[in-house]
Structures are given as C-alpha cells and as structure tokens.
Amino acid sequence: MWRCLACVGIIAALAAGPARAQEAVAQFYKGKQITVLVGSSAGGGYDIYARLLSRHMPKHIPGNPAIVVTNMAGAGSNAAAAHLFNVAPRDGTVIGALQNSAVLDALLDALLGDTKRLRHDATKFVHLGSATIDSGYPGTREITLAIEKDEVKGLCGFSWSSLKAQRPNWIASGFIRVLVQEHDKGHLDINKMGVPLAVDFATTPENRRVMELIYSSETFGRPYMMAPGVPEERIGALRKAFMATMRDQDLLAEAQRIGVVIDPISGEELQTLSERTFATPAAVVERAKQAMEYRAP
C-alpha cells in the first residue's frame, strides 16, 4: 500500500511540474508587452507576416501579453540581429523577425573566420518557428513600385507569398512571368507552372551542393527567434504558442483573405536545421561565399 501511495505521490509531483511552469510563465507575461523586431522595411513580406502574427498570437501565450511590431531595416536584417543579440532584454519580451539570409551570412563569416563584420552570433539564437518556407528579400515594396512605373524591368528574390499578398493582380493579369526559383525545393504552386529551380542549372554535383547551401536559407522561410539566455519555460511556451497560432482558424481565415501563405515550421525543427547548416564543410562554405561576392562588370 505504501508503495502505491508513493507512486501516486511521484505521479502527482511530475504532473505538477509543467503546471507550475505554465503558471510562472503566465505570471511573467501578464500585463507585459512583447516586441516583434522586424529586420526589414514596413509593408514588405516579413512585415506583413509579423503583423498578422501579432494580431493572433497573444491569446495563445500564457498571460496574454500584447504584441507590437517595430521595424529596423538595414544590412539584410543584420542591424536588427545585432540589436536582438546585444541590446534587447533576454527575458522573452523581444522576438526577432529576421531575414533568413542573416543566418547564411553568419555561417559564412563564422566558418571562414571573419568575425569582425557581424556583431552577433547566429549560432546562439533560439528559434521559435517559421510561418512559411516561402520567403524573399526585404525592401521589395519599393522595387514593385518602380516596376509599375516602368523604372525597373524585373527583380530577383521576390517571394511567392509576398507577390500574392502585395500584388495579386500581377498574377491574375499575367503582368509578370516567373523565370526561375531561388530555392532548393521550390514552391508547390510555382512547381506546377513548370518553373525550373536555379539549382537545376548546376553543371556539376559540386556546384549544385554550393547552390543548395546558398538557397538553404530559403528553407528557414520567415523565421522568428530570440537571443540566448531566455528561460527555458518561456521558450517552450512561445514555441507552443507560435504553432498554435499557425493553426488558429481566425489567423488562417485572415491569411487567405489577404493572400498570405501559411506553411509553418516548428522552432525545434528550425533549431535542428540551424545546427545542421552550421556544420557545413568549410570548403563548401568558401565556394559559396566566393559565388556570392559582387564583382563589378
């Protein structure tokens, strides 16, 4: 009998642990405000996704904190990454919505020994999740306006989700033609259109591996992350809240209404992807960095 009572006591203690952690998280966030720091300009794809998230995620976070979005464009999100890593409080009240290429930038610099250019260590960021694997470059809002004025004839790195959200009429009217996909797997809709992948033009297996590394950042999609040092129970709560938000019927309905694609990746998956990416052989990284260097014509 005493053995049975002891078992009951152990089970009760184990069950109480998560409950106490949940209560502690709720007490911390109650009445507080979470800032989502977007590392690109207002009105672009990263900004649209962050603001969509901010409208629906609070109810899924214990304590229901408010969420506000602020923009810090510059240096391909590296300005925002540096702020997140060096300045922002490490208590779970600041989330970075950074351009996915910021991860690749850090990989190239870290593996090649260039630690002076960037002021953050991307290997230490804690990933909460990504809203979609479909991504693109920041600042596209300005370029799309230039295209409509016939000042620019085309652009590179415009994500399919951003195009559908910002310029759905371009697709319906045939105003543009998609020539190639900068992705290692491609987007389902564009694959059906028969648009080739850039990696398919690689002339050797070695070249393809380099291209796959360059485009691997697209797999990160539109990632959300925090600086290291945030208490584990808050990380767990925010990861859980993020995925719950991505399945929220109100969010999905709004996403469909504004033409935003939701195809989420969990924080745990992104963390694994980040670790695998940073384990890329230095020889492949060196070639990738050389391939991405701008050379004046």
Dump pLDDT digits (tens) for 11-25.
Answer: 555 555 567 888 999
Is residue 6 over pLDDT 70? no
Percentage of the chain surpassing pLDDT 70?
Answer: 86
pLDDT tens sequence across 96-106: 999 887 777 77
Strand arrangement, sheet containing 66-71: 66-71, 33-38, 94-97, 223-226, 126-130, 265-266
pLDDT score recorded for residue 278 = 82
CB 181 within 8 A of CB 187: yes
What is the Cα–Cα distance from 57 to 36, expressed in whole angstroms?
11
Q: What CATH code would you report for 30-287?
A: 3.40.190.150
Q: If DSSP codes are grouped into helix, strand and coil, which group holds residue 36? A: strand
pTM of the entire structure? Answer: 0.76
Paired strand residues for 71: 38
pLDDT score recorded for residue 179 = 93
Is residue 88 over pLDDT 60? yes
The structural domains of the chain, with segments of one domain joined by +, span 30-287
